[in-house]
C-alpha cells in the first residue's frame, strides 16, 4: 500500500496547562452558574410543557401561505378559554404551536370534556385555511405523575451511575463524578429557565442521556488518573491530576465533538417536536465536557484519593514506560 | 488483541450478513415483503403513532364506581342471606365505604355475623403467598355488623373490571370498522387505546366514554318524584334524574327488573308510526322471562328505561310483553341511536372511563418527522464521518464502517424483537452515530499516544485497543444505566428513545471491538511482507525528541 492517509493530528499535545492550580477560577465560574440557575429556578421557574403542566398543545399548519401569528393570537384570545399561547415554529412561517391552559372543570363538564370543548373552540376558530397536525391533551393526573416519574428517573439514574463509578473506582471518584454530573444537570435545567424553552418529557429524556453521557468524559479522565496513580506513586496529587487531564484532553474533547456534530444535525434539521431535546443534549455535551476537564478532578483533590493502589499496573511496563516513569519521577521529586 | 481465529472472523462476518438480511425488509413496502420466499425474514420495524400518524388515548377507570357497585351488590346479597336465615334486618346502609347492617333484635347479632361472614370470598395470590378474604366482617356496637371491602378484594375487583372494560372497548372500537387498533391495559386501572390513522377522535371518545348501562326499573306506584323530593324517598327507592327536560325525574325502585347485560340484540331502527329513530332490542331467555313476569303483573302502570342512571323514557305497560323484544324511544337522532345501539350490543362498561391523556398526530406531520429524521441522520452521519476520516485517515474509515454496521444492527434488532420506532427513537439513533465513533476516538487517540511514546506501530495498535477497552466499557455502561432507567420509567415515545439508546450502546461496543479491530487486523495482514507503517500521523513527544530531559 503506497499511499496511506493517516489523518491530521491537529490537537495540541504535550500541553501542561495548569488547570488544577487555577481551579478556583473554574470552581468560581461553576458556582456562579449554579447560583444563577438556582435563582432562576426559584424566581422564574420552568416553562413546563403540556406533559408536566397539563392542558393542550395544538400544532397547526396553514394550507397555503403563512400564518399571521399576531392575528391568530387575537382571534384565540377572544374565545374565553383562559391563557392561550401562540408560537411560530419551523422555518417556513406556516406552522405554529398553540397552547391551551388546563381548563377548570364545571358542574356539567369533567376535566376531559371541558378541555375537549376548549380544543374544539380553538379548532373552530382556526377556520378553513389552517390544518391541525397534532394535538396533545394531558390531564392533571397524568401530568402530576409524569412530573414525579421524571424526578424519580433523574435521581434513579444518577444513583445508578454513582454506584457503578463507586464499584469501579473509589468512593472519592464516585462522589466527585456525581457532583460534576449534578453540576451539568442543574446548569442545563437553569439554561431552560433562562431561555424559557419548553421543558417537557423529551427534555427529561435528554437530561437522563446527558447524565449518562457527560459521565463518559469524566470516566476517561478518572481512568487516566487511576493509571497514573499506579504509575507515579510519589508524584504530588496536584501535578498528577494536571498531568492526567492534559494527557486525556484530546480524547475528552474529540469524543464530545463527534457526538456534538450528530446532535447539531438534529438541532438544525429536526422538527419542532425534538427541538428542546436536541438543545438540551447539545448544551449538555458542552457543559459536560467542561465539567469533566475543569470540575471533576478538582473535586477529587478536595476529597483526596488513596495513593496505595495495591493492584499491579495495568500491564507490565514496557521499555518506554519504564523510561518515562524514571524520567517523570525524577522531575516530580525535584 | 490483534489476533482473531478463523472461526471468530467467520462469526463476525456472519453477524454482519445477518444484520443486513434482517434489516432489509424494513426498507421495502409491506406488500413487497409479503411476497418474499419463506426463508427470507419479513419482520419490519413498527413505526410509532408519532411517525405514522394516529391517535393515542389513555383511559382511566373510575375505581370509586367499581367499589360502589360492589357495595350495591353486597347490600342485596346481605339482605337475601339474612332473609333466608330468618334474621330480621332493621336497616342496611353504606357509610365510610363499608356496608352497615343493623339487625332487628340485638340477640341475633352473632347469628347474623356468622351468616354474613359467609359473603367473604378468599382472595389469594399464589406467587406472593398472600391469602385473605375480600371482605372484613366485624361486629360493632348495638347489633350493627360492618362489612368492609379489603384492599386486596378491591384490587381484585378493579382488575376484573379493567379486563371486562378492555373487552367492551375493543368491541366498541371494532364496531366503528377500525381494524388496527391496539387496546392494552396500563398500570392497574388504565387502558391504552392506539388507533393508527385516526385524526378526529371525538366520535371514538363519545363511543367509549359512555358506560351504557341499561336498566329497566319499576316506577313507584303512588309517590311521584316531586313528592319524594320533599320527604325522604321510601326504602329501596331512589330518585333518578331525567335524561332531558321532557323526561322528568322519576322515583324508581333501585334494584332493576332487568339489566342491559341480558340483552340479546340491539339495533337502530325507525318507529313505524312516528318515523322517529328508535332502538329495537331483544332480551335473552332469562331476561325475557323476567321482563315478561314483570309486565304481566304491572299492566297499566309505567316502567322506566334508565341509561347510566338517567331516565330516558317511562312508558306505560299496555300489555304483558312476553316475546322478550321491545323498543326504546327518546329523542334520538339517527346518529345517537346508532351509537347507543353499538354501546348496548357491546355491553356496558363496568365503570366509567375518562380520557386522561390524548395525543393525536396527523399522518403528514409523521411523514415530515420521518423526512426530518432522515435528513438529520444523513447530515449528522456525513459530518461525523468527515471528521473521523480527517482526524484518523484509514482508521477513521474503519470507524465509519463500524458505525454504519452499528446502525444496521440497531435497526435489525429492532425489527426482530418487534420494538417500535418513534421520533425520539430516530433522535436516539442519530445520537448513537456520534457515540459509536467515541470508542474509536478513544482507541485511536490511545494508539497515537503510544506511537508518540515510541512504540512500534503494531505494538501501539495492540496497546491502544487493550488499554482503551476498560475505559470504553466504563464510559458506555454509565449511559446504559441511564437508558435502562428511561426504559423502566418512560412511556411511549421516551421508551422508543430508550430502546434505540440502549441497543445502540451495545452495538457500538460490539462494532468498535470487533468490526473496527478486524478491519485493522486485515489491513495489517495485507501488508505482511512490507514494514508496517504507523497508521496514524503523530507528532513525536517533545520530551523524547529532546532526549531524556523534559522541557
Q: Is A153 on the interface with B (CB under 8 A)?
A: yes
CA–CA distance, B130 with B178 (Å, rounded to integer): 42
**Quick one: pLDDT at residue B93?**
82
Considering only CB atoms, A259 lies closest to which of B354, B438, B471, namely B438
Tell me what the mean pLDDT of segment A262-285 comes to: 89
Global pTM? 0.81
Please, what sign has the CA dihedral across residues B443, B448, B451, B453? negative
Class of domain A55-138: alpha beta
Q: Mutating which of A113, A150, A269 best tests the B interface, going by the most B Cβ atoms within 10 A?
A: A269
Tell me what the mean pLDDT of segment B525-533 comes to: 71
**Quick one: pLDDT at residue A308?**
61
**Quick one: pLDDT at residue B129?**
57
Tell me what the mean pLDDT of segment B489-516 comes to: 85
Cα of A179 to nearest chain B Cα, Å: 15
Residues 6+ apart with CB under 8 A from B496: B48, B419, B420, B421, B422, B423, B424, B425, B428
Q: What percent of chain A has pLDDT over 70?
A: 91
Q: Do the Cβ atoms of B357 and A142 come within 8 Å?
A: yes
Per-position DSSP letters for B120-185, written without gaps between them: --EEEETTTTEEEESEEEEE-STTEEEEEE-HHHHHHHHHHHHHHHHHHHHHHHHHTT--S-EEEE
Tell me what the mean pLDDT of segment B71-88 comes to: 84
Please, what sign has the CA dihedral across residues A137, A141, A147, A149? negative
Tell me what the mean pLDDT of segment B258-270 comes to: 85
Considering only CB atoms, B394 lies closest to which of A4, A205, A331, namely A4
Q: Is A142 on the interface with B (CB under 8 A)?
A: yes
Binning pLDDT at 50, 70 and 90, where does residue A282 land?
very high
Chain B residues touching A61 at Cβ < 8 A: 364-365
**Quick one: pLDDT at residue A33?**
94
Q: Is B441 on the interface with A (CB under 8 A)?
A: yes
Instruction: Report domain extents, chain B.
Output: 6-51+362-545, 56-61+179-358, 63-156
Binning pLDDT at 50, 70 and 90, where does residue A320 land?
very low
In this predicted structure, the answer to whether residue A116 has a pLDDT above a threshold of 50 is: yes
Q: Is A268 on the interface with B (CB under 8 A)?
A: yes
Binning pLDDT at 50, 70 and 90, where does residue A324 land?
very low
Q: Which CATH number fits domain B6-51+362-545: 1.20.1640.10, 1.10.3720.10, 3.40.50.880, 3.40.190.10?
A: 1.20.1640.10
Q: Count of CB atoms within 10 A of residue B57's CB?
A: 24
- Lowest mean per-residue pLDDT among A12-26, A47-61, A219-233, A282-296: A12-26
- Copy the grid coordinates of residue B402: 463500524
The string of pLDDT tens digits covering residues B121-176 is 877 665 555 567 888 888 887 778 888 888 888 888 888 889 889 988 888 888 77
Tell me what the mean pLDDT of segment B277-284 comes to: 87
Binning pLDDT at 50, 70 and 90, where does residue A183 land?
very high
Q: Is B390 on the interface with A (CB under 8 A)?
A: yes
Q: Is B187 on the interface with A (CB under 8 A)?
A: no
Q: Do the Cβ atoms of B427 and A278 come within 8 Å?
A: yes
Cα of B391 to nearest chain A Cα, Å: 5
**Quick one: pLDDT at residue A333?**
38
List Cα–Cα distances, A178 to A156, B489, B526, in angstroms.
12, 21, 46
**Beta A84-89 vs B214-218: how paired, if at all?**
unpaired
In this predicted structure, the answer to whether residue B179 has a pLDDT above a threshold of 80 is: no
CA–CA distance, B483 with A208 (Å, rounded to integer): 8
Binning pLDDT at 50, 70 and 90, where does residue B543 land?
low
Q: Do the Cβ atoms of A7 and B392 come within 8 Å?
A: yes
- For residues B453, B457, B459, B461, the Cα torsion angle rounded to the nearest 10 degrees is 100
Tell me what the mean pLDDT of segment B53-82 comes to: 87
Q: Residue A310, class by beta-carbon neighbours within 10 Å (0-12 exposed, 13-18 middle, 19+ buried)?
A: exposed
CA–CA distance, B450 with B465 (Å, rounded to integer): 11
DSSP conformational letter for B540: P
Chain B residues touching A257 at Cβ < 8 A: 387
- Copy the grid coordinates of residue B434: 456520534
CATH 3.30.70.3400 in chain A is located at: 55-138
In this predicted structure, the answer to whether residue A186 has a pLDDT above a threshold of 90 is: yes
CA–CA distance, B478 with A209 (Å, rounded to integer): 9
Task: Identify the closest residue of chain A to B361 by CA–CA distance.
Answer: A134
Cα of A58 to nearest chain B Cα, Å: 9
The string of pLDDT tens digits covering residues B217-255 is 888 888 888 888 888 788 778 888 887 766 678 888 888
Residue B548, helix vs strand vs coil? coil
**Quick one: pLDDT at residue B542?**
57
Q: What are phi and psi of A57, to 5 degrees?
A: -125, 125
Q: Do the Cβ atoms of B480 and A4 come within 8 Å?
A: no
Considering only CB atoms, B481 lies closest to which of A13, A164, A270, namely A164
Residue A319, helix vs strand vs coil? helix
CA–CA distance, B537 with B107 (Å, rounded to integer): 101
CA–CA distance, B534 with B392 (Å, rounded to integer): 11
List Cα–Cα distances, A158 to A150, B195, B248, B316, in angstroms.
12, 36, 62, 70
Q: Mutating which of A51, A166, A262 best tests the B interface, going by the most B Cβ atoms within 10 A?
A: A262
Q: What is the mean pLDDT of chain A?
A: 84
Residues 6+ apart with CB under 8 A from B343: B172, B207, B210, B212
Of A281, A286, A252, A250, nearest to A268 (Cα)?
A281
Cα of A57 to nearest chain B Cα, Å: 9
- Copy the grid coordinates of residue A263: 446532535
Task: Identify the closest residue of chain B to A281 by CA–CA distance.
Answer: B431
CA–CA distance, B485 with A152 (Å, rounded to integer): 9
Contact B168, B348 (CB under 8 A): yes
Q: What are phi and psi of A27, to 5 degrees?
A: -65, -40
What is the CATH code of the structural domain delimited by B56-61+179-358?
A: 3.30.1360.200
Q: Do the Cβ atoms of A265 and B438 come within 8 Å?
A: no
Contact A295, A288 (CB under 8 A): no
Q: Is B542 on the interface with A (CB under 8 A)?
A: yes
Q: Is B10 on the interface with A (CB under 8 A)?
A: no
List Cα–Cα distances, B546 to A321, B223, B457, B540, in angstroms.
17, 113, 21, 10
Q: Do the Cβ atoms of B387 and A258 come within 8 Å?
A: yes
**Quick one: pLDDT at residue A312?**
46
Q: Count of CB atoms within 10 A of residue B241's CB?
A: 14
List Cα–Cα distances, B290 to A6, A316, B301, in angstroms.
91, 92, 17
**Quick one: pLDDT at residue A263?**
92
Considering only CB atoms, B372 lies closest to which of A120, A264, A271, namely A271
Q: Mutating which of B357, B369, B502, B539 best tests the A interface, going by the most A Cβ atoms within 10 A?
A: B357
Task: Identify the closest residue of chain B to A263 by CA–CA distance.
Answer: B431
Chain A residues touching B200 at Cβ < 8 A: none
Residues 6+ apart with CB under 8 A from B89: B79, B82, B83, B101, B102, B103, B104
Q: Which residues pair with B136 in a beta bridge?
A: B148
- Lowest mean per-residue pLDDT among A203-207, B88-92, B344-348, B526-530: B526-530
Cα of B429 to nearest chain A Cα, Å: 10
- Copy the grid coordinates of residue B384: 461525523
Listed in order, strand segments (DSSP E) in chain A are 47-48, 55-62, 84-89, 95-100, 130-138, 198-199
- Copy the grid coordinates of residue A305: 484519593
Binning pLDDT at 50, 70 and 90, where does residue A330 land?
very low
Tell me what the mean pLDDT of segment A153-164 comes to: 89
Q: Count of CB atoms within 10 A of residue A332's CB?
A: 15
CA–CA distance, A125 with B394 (Å, rounded to integer): 60
Long-range contacts of the stretch B272-279 (C-beta < 8 A, 24+) = B274/B329, B276/B329, B276/B332, B277/B332, B277/B333, B277/B334, B277/B336, B277/B337, B278/B327, B278/B328, B278/B329, B278/B332, B278/B337, B279/B327, B279/B328, B279/B332, B279/B337, B279/B340, B279/B341, B279/B344
Q: Do the Cβ atoms of A152 and B478 come within 8 Å?
A: no
CA–CA distance, B82 with B111 (Å, rounded to integer): 9
Tell me what the mean pLDDT of segment B282-293 comes to: 88
**Quick one: pLDDT at residue B470?**
82
The string of pLDDT tens digits covering residues A51-71 is 898 999 999 988 888 888 888
What is the CATH code of the structural domain delimited by B63-156?
A: 3.30.70
Tell me what the mean pLDDT of segment B268-277 comes to: 85
What is the CATH code of the structural domain delimited by A23-35+143-333?
A: 1.20.1640.10
Residues 6+ apart with CB under 8 A from B225: B239, B248, B249, B250, B251
Residues 6+ apart with CB under 8 A from B488: none
**Beta B144-149 vs B135-139: how paired, if at all?**
antiparallel
Q: Is B241 on the interface with A (CB under 8 A)?
A: no
Q: Which residues pair with B310 in a beta bridge?
A: B307
- Copy the grid coordinates of residue B501: 439508546
Cα of B35 to nearest chain A Cα, Å: 34
Contact B543, A246 (CB under 8 A): no
**Quick one: pLDDT at residue A321?**
42
Q: If contacts are CB pairs under 8 Å, which of residues 69-98 in chain A contact chain B?
A: none
Q: Do the Cβ atoms of B430 and A13 come within 8 Å?
A: no
DSSP conformational letter for B261: G
Q: What is the mean pLDDT of chain B?
A: 84
Binning pLDDT at 50, 70 and 90, where does residue A309 land?
low
CATH 1.20.1640.10 in chain A is located at: 23-35+143-333
- Copy the grid coordinates of residue B41: 425474514
**Quick one: pLDDT at residue B381?**
93
Contact B153, B134 (CB under 8 A): yes
**Upper half-sphere CA count for residue B307 (Cβ side, 13 Å):** 18
Q: Do the Cβ atoms of A9 and B536 come within 8 Å?
A: yes
Residue B420, helix vs strand vs coil? strand
**Quick one: pLDDT at residue A318?**
40
Cβ-Cβ pairs closer than 8 A, A with B, add up to: 273
Q: Do the Cβ atoms of B494 and A138 come within 8 Å?
A: no
What's the distance, CA B529 to chain centroid? 62
Please, what sign has the CA dihedral across residues B273, B274, B280, B282? negative
Chain B residues touching A220 at Cβ < 8 A: 442, 471, 475
Q: Is B381 on the interface with A (CB under 8 A)?
A: yes
Q: Is A3 on the interface with B (CB under 8 A)?
A: no
Q: Do the Cβ atoms of B482 and A161 come within 8 Å?
A: yes
Q: CA B79, B84, B89 angle in degrees (round to 5)?
A: 40
Tell me what the mean pLDDT of segment A75-103 comes to: 85
In this predicted structure, the answer to whether residue A329 has a pLDDT above a threshold of 60 is: no
State which of A184-188, B47-51, B163-167 shows the largest mean pLDDT.
A184-188
Tell me what the mean pLDDT of segment B310-316 comes to: 84
Binning pLDDT at 50, 70 and 90, where does residue A317 land?
very low
Amino acid at each position: 500500500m503506497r499511499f496511506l492517509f493517516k489523518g491530521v493530528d491537529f490537537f495540541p499535545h504535550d500541553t501542561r496547562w495548569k488547570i488544577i492550580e487555577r481551579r478556583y477560577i473554574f470552581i468560581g465560574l461553576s458556582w456562579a452558574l449554579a447560583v444563577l440557575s438556582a435563582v432562576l429556578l426559584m424566581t422564574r421557574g420552568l416553562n413546563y410543557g403540556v406533559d408536566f403542566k397539563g392542558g393542550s398543545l395544538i400544532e397547526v399548519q396553514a394550507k397555503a401561505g403563512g400564518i399571521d401569528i399576531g392575528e391568530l393570537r387575537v382571534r384565540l384570545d377572544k374565545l374565553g378559554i383562559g391563557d392561550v399561547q401562540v408560537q411560530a415554529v419551523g422555518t417556513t412561517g406556516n406552522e405554529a404551536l398553540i397552547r391551551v391552559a388546563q381548563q377548570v372543570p364545571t358542574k356539567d363538564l369533567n376535566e376531559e370534556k371541558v378541555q375537549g370543548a376548549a380544543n374544539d373552540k380553538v379548532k373552530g376558530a382556526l377556520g378553513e385555511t389552517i390544518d391541525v397536525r397534532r394535538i396533545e391533551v394531558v390531564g392533571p393526573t397524568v401530568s402530576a405523575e409524569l412530573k414525579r416519574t421524571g424526578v424519580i428517573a433523574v435521581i434513579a439514574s444518577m444513583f445508578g451511575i454513582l454506584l457503578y463509578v463507586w464499584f469501579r473506582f473509589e468512593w472519592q471518584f464516585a462522589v466527585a463524578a456525581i457532583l460534576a454530573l449534578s453540576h451539568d444537570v442543574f446548569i442545563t435545567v437553569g439554561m431552560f429557565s433562562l431561555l424559557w424553552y419548553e421543558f417537557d418529557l423529551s427534555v427529561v429524556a435528554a437530561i437522563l442521556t446527558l447524565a449518562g453521557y457527560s459521565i463518559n468524559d469524566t470516566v476517561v479522565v478518572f481512568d487516566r488518573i487511576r493509571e497514573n496513580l499506579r504509575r507515579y506513586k510519589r508524584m504530588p496529587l496536584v501535578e498528577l491530576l494536571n498531568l492526567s487531564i492534559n494527557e486525556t484532553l484530546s480524547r475528552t474533547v474529540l469524543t464530545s465533538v463527534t457526538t456534538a456534530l450528530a446532535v447539531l444535525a438534529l438541532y438544525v434539521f429536526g422538527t419542532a417536536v425534538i427541538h428542546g431535546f436536541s438543545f438540551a443534549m447539545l448544551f449538555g455535551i458542552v457543559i459536560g465536557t467542561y465539567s469533566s476537564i475543569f470540575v471533576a478532578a478538582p473535586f477529587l483533590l478536595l476529597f483526596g484519593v488513596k495513593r496505595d493502589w495495591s493492584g499491579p499496573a495495568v500491564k507490565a511496563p514496557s521499555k518506554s514506560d519504564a523510561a518515562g516513569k524514571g524520567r517523570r519521577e525524577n522531575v516530580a521529586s525535584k | 488483541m490483534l489476533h482473531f481465529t478463523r472461526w471468530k472472523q467467520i462469526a463476525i462476518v456472519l453477524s454482519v450478513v445477518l444484520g443486513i438480511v434482517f434489516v432489509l425488509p424494513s426498507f421495502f413496502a409491506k406488500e413487497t415483503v409479503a411476497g418474499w420466499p419463506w426463508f427470507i425474514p419479513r419482520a419490519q420495524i413498527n413505526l410509532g403513532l408519532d411517525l405514522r400518524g394516529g391517535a393515542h388515548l389513555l383511559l382511566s377507570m373510575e375505581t370509586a364506581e367499581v367499589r360502589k357497585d360492589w357495595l350495591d351488590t353486597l347490600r342485596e346479597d346481605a339482605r337475601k342471606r339474612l332473609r333466608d336465615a330468618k334474621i330480621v334486618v332493621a336497616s342496611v346502609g353504606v357509610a365510610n365505604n363499608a356496608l352497615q347492617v343493623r339487625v332487628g333484635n340485638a340477640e341475633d347479632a352473632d347469628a347474623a355475623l356468622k351468616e354474613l361472614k359467609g359473603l367473604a370470598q378468599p382472595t389469594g395470590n399464589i406467587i406472593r403467598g398472600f391469602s385473605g378474604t375480600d371482605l372484613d366482617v366485624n361486629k360493632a356496637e348495638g347489633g350493627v355488623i360492618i362489612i368492609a371491602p379489603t384492599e386486596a378484594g378491591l384490587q381484585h375487583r378493579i382488575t376484573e373490571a379493567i379486563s371486562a372494560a378492555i373487552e367492551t372497548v375493543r368491541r366498541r372500537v371494532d364496531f366503528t370498522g377500525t381494524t388496527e387498533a391496539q387496546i392494552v391495559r396500563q398500570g392497574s386501572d388504565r387502558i391504552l387505546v392506539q388507533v393508527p390513522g385516526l385524526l378526529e377522535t371525538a366520535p371514538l371518545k363519545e363511543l367509549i366514554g359512555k358506560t351504557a348501562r341499561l336498566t329497566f326499573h319499576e316506577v313507584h306506584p303512588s309517590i311521584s318524584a316531586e313528592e319524594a323530593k320533599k320527604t325522604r324517598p321510601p326504602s329501596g327507592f331512589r330518585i333518578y334524574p331525567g335524561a332531558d327536560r321532557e323526561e322528568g325525574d322519576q322515583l324508581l325502585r333501585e334494584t332493576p327488573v332487568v339489566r342491559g347485560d341480558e340483552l340479546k340484540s340491539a339495533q337502530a331502527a325507525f318507529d313505524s308510526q312516528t318515523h322517529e329513530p328508535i332502538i329495537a332490542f331483544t332480551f335473552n331467555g332469562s331476561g325475557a322471562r323476567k321482563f315478561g313476569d314483570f309486565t304481566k303483573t304491572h299492566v297499566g302502570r309505567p316502567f322506566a328505561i334508565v341509561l347510566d342512571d338517567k331516565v330516558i323514557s317511562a312508558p306505560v305497560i299496555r300489555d304483558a310483553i312476553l316475546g322478550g323484544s321491545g323498543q326504546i324511544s327518546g329523542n334520538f337522532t339517527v346518529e345517537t341511536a346508532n351509537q347507543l345501539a353499538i354501546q348496548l350490543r357491546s355491553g356496558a362498561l363496568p365503570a366509567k372511563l375518562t380520557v386522561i391523556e390524548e395525543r393525536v398526530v396527523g399522518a403528514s406531520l409523521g411523514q415530515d418527522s420521518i423526512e426530518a429524521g432522515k435528513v438529520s441522520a444523513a447530515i449528522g452521519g456525513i459530518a461525523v464521518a468527515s471528521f473521523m476520516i480527517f482526524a484518523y485517515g484509514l482508521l477513521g474509515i474503519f470507524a465509519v464502517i463500524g458505525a454504519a454496521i452499528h446502525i444496521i444492527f440497531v435497526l435489525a434488532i429492532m425489527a426482530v424483537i418487534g420494538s417500535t420506532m418513534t421520533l425520539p427513537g430516530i433522535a436516539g439513533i442519530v445520537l448513537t452515530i456520534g457515540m459509536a465513533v467515541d470508542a474509536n476516538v478513544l482507541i485511536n487517540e490511545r494508539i497515537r499516544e503510544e506511537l508518540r511514546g515510541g512504540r512500534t506501530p503494531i505494538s501501539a495498535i495492540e496497546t491502544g485497543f487493550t488499554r482503551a477497552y476498560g475505559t470504553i466499557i466504563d464510559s458506555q455502561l454509565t449511559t446504559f444505566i441511564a437508558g435502562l432507567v428511561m426504559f423502566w420509567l418512560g412511556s411511549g415515545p421516551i421508551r422508543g428513545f430508550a430502546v434505540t439508546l440502549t441497543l445502540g450502546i451495545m452495538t457500538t461496543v460490539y462494532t468498535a471491538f470487533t468490526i473496527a479491530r478486524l478491519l485493522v487486523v486485515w489491513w495489517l495482514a495485507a501488508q505482511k511482507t512490507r514494514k508496517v507503517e504507523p497508521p496514524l500521523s503523530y507528532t513525536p513527544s517533545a520530551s523524547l525528541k529532546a532526549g531524556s530531559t523534559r522541557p
